[in-house]
Structures are given as C-alpha cells and as structure tokens.
Amino acid sequence: MKKLLITLAASLSLTLAASEASLSFPDDSLPALAGDELIISMQHGMQVYVNNCQGCHSLAFQRYKRTAEDLQIPENIMVSNLIMSDAKIGDLMTNNMSKKAAENWFGAAPPDLSLVARARGTHWLYNYLRGFYTDDSRPYGVNNGVFKDVGMPHALEQMQGLQAKTEKVKGLENDVAYAHADIAAANKKIEEGGNKSELNDAIAKSRKIIHDAEDEMVKLSAEGEYFTLIQKGALTTEEFDEAMADLVYFLDYIGEPIKAERKRLGVWVLLFILGFGFIAYLLKKEYWKDIH
C-alpha cells in the first residue's frame, strides 16, 4: 500500500511538473459554436484569413471550390470577395511567396496551414493568435506568450492593437528568474560540499516562490490581467477574440473538411445501431419463445 501511494505521489508530481513546464499565456477556452452559428463563424474566419494570413501562408491541400461548397459561400461571392489573386475557383488556396525569400525575411518560412489546427489543436491556435505582445528584444518588436521567440510578425496588430505584459506579471517573472538563479547557486554549493540540509531548505523555499508566482500568473490570466493594451486596435478586445475564434474555426474546418459531414453521419449510424439492436432483440425473443 505504501509503495502504491509513493508511486501515485511520484506520478502526480511528475504530471504537475509537466503542466508547470507548459505554462503559456493567454490560456482561454475557444467559445463553443455549432450549427448555423458555426458556418457563419467559418465564413467570417475565411475572410479574416484571406485578408491577413494568405500573403504569407498557403493552404495547399484545399481548393476554393470545395471550401465554397462546404461553407455555403456562393461561388460568385467567393470569386469576387475571397480570391485575392488571379486564381480560379478550382485552384488550390496557395500563394506566390517564395520559400527562400521568406526564410531570408523571417528566419523561418511561414508553414502551410492546412493541417495546423490538427497538429497544434484549436485551443493552442486560439491563444497563439491572441498571444502577441511587445518585446523590444525581438526583431519585430513582438514575442508570443504561447510560441516563445516565434519568427512571425504580429500580423493582426492593426485589428488587435498592441498588448504588453502588466507590471504585476513582469514583477512575478522577475521573482521567478531570481528564484531559478538562487536554486542554481545552491545546487552549485552542494556540489562543492556546502551544508546540504541548509541549502536544500533554501532550494525548497525558492521552489515555493516559483510555484506561487506561477499560480498568481494563472490567476491574473484568468482575470484578464496578464496583458494590457498599450495601443488600441481597430477592434475591441471582445470583437478581436470573436474574430480569432472565427479564424480558428475556419482553420479547423480546413484541417478536416469532412468533419461536419462525419458528425452528421455519425448520428445516423448511432440511430441505425439503436434501431437495429431493437429489431434484433425482438427477433431473439421470437426465436426463443417456444424453447423456454
């Protein structure tokens, strides 16, 4: 029993450590949408995409025509409003950016986004797109709370405005950095033969500081106090979040165009299994009637 408890405690602390390591901000849930609301959201998401992303990113597995059909966008509207290049409705949704030139400009070529919603997940995407903040140490003056040191410029600055970490968050980050430095110093002293129990106490204290600071950051993020707008954009925060949800739902659709159809079919398959199960049950009763 004792052994079991120890194993449990160990695995719990491992998971805790893992979840701590993956702290990233913002960390908000994508609002749930379904039915017509979802279709409208994906339509709007496509508009946001072609206006803000397609210059750099391609969707090389997807054709305009299929998208028009699935998202219920009339072909003439697709052609006149959503195809920015001289591409035809039957073409793939690529762009003309040269990979080499892009690597030169950004340090990394903008990846194709056809499968990004599947690879990264919609939660990650929703927060990544809302996670750019000012950071003077970076080439474009921005960093990302979800994708550290990303090579992508803040493509949505005009819509979102510019956000920065709040003073509280910067203070907490300082505390964490000092605590990490203290732990490293204490470990070094232990190696050099210092007083182990004293130094271990100091390490435990520093760990607690880190832990508490991270808890506080999670709390600030949940309360919307992690970032603050230092320069207004064309949209309010609520409007921007909504536009990003639309964009994520559009990319989610692109990642698996058959998804809506699969879900719709799934309901019928389940109903069939239920219905057929009932018939099979009646049949069984009929067969066994004379034997019992």
Which residues contribute to the site for ligand HEC (CB under 6 A)?
52-53, 55-57, 106, 108, 110-111, 113, 116, 120, 125, 128-129, 150-153, 155-156, 247
Question: CB of residue 68 vs ligand HEC: minimum separation in angstroms?
Answer: 20
- Considering the complex, state which of residue 108 and residue 280 has its C-beta at the smaller distance from ligand HEC: 108
Q: Are 217 and 165 in contact (CB under 8 A)?
A: no
Task: Tell me which residue has its CB nearest to ligand HEC.
Answer: 53
Residue 235: other Cβ atoms inside 10 A: 17
Half-sphere exposure of 174 (CA within 13 A, CB side): 7
- Considering the complex, state which of residue 43 and residue 206 has its C-beta at the smaller distance from ligand HEC: 43
User: Within 53-166, where are the H helices?
Assistant: 64-70, 75-77, 99-106, 116-120, 122-129, 157-160
Q: Are 135 and 163 in contact (CB under 8 A)?
A: no
Phi-psi map region of 72: left, alpha, beta (phi>0 left; psi -120 to 50 alpha): left
- Considering the complex, state which of residue 76 and residue 158 has its C-beta at the smaller distance from ligand HEC: 158
- Considering the complex, state which of residue 46 and residue 156 has its C-beta at the smaller distance from ligand HEC: 156
- Considering the complex, state which of residue 161 and residue 220 has its C-beta at the smaller distance from ligand HEC: 161
Question: CB of residue 96 vs ligand HEC: minimum separation in angstroms?
Answer: 13
Question: CB of residue 151 vs ligand HEC: minimum separation in angstroms?
Answer: 3
Give the SS3 label for residue 145: coil
- Considering the complex, state which of residue 122 and residue 206 has its C-beta at the smaller distance from ligand HEC: 122
Q: Are 38 and 250 in contact (CB under 8 A)?
A: no
- Considering the complex, state which of residue 166 and residue 233 has its C-beta at the smaller distance from ligand HEC: 233
Question: CB of residue 111 vs ligand HEC: minimum separation in angstroms?
Answer: 5
Question: CB of residue 159 vs ligand HEC: minimum separation in angstroms?
Answer: 9
* Residue whose tokens read 């204490």: 186
Question: CB of residue 120 vs ligand HEC: minimum separation in angstroms?
Answer: 5
Q: H or E segment at 217?
A: helix 196-222
* CA-CA-CA-CA dihedral for 59, 60, 62, 65, to nearest 10: 100
Give the SS3 label for residue 50: helix
- Considering the complex, state which of residue 131 and residue 257 has its C-beta at the smaller distance from ligand HEC: 131
Phi-psi map region of 36: left, alpha, beta (phi>0 left; psi -120 to 50 alpha): alpha
Is cis: bond before 26, omega within 30 of 0?
A: yes
Question: CB of residue 36 vs ligand HEC: minimum separation in angstroms?
Answer: 24
How many Å apart are CA 265 and CA 112, to the nearest integer? 29
Q: H or E segment at 218?
A: helix 196-222
Question: CB of residue 163 vs ligand HEC: minimum separation in angstroms?
Answer: 16
Q: What are residue 59's phi and psi, to 5 degrees?
A: -125, 75
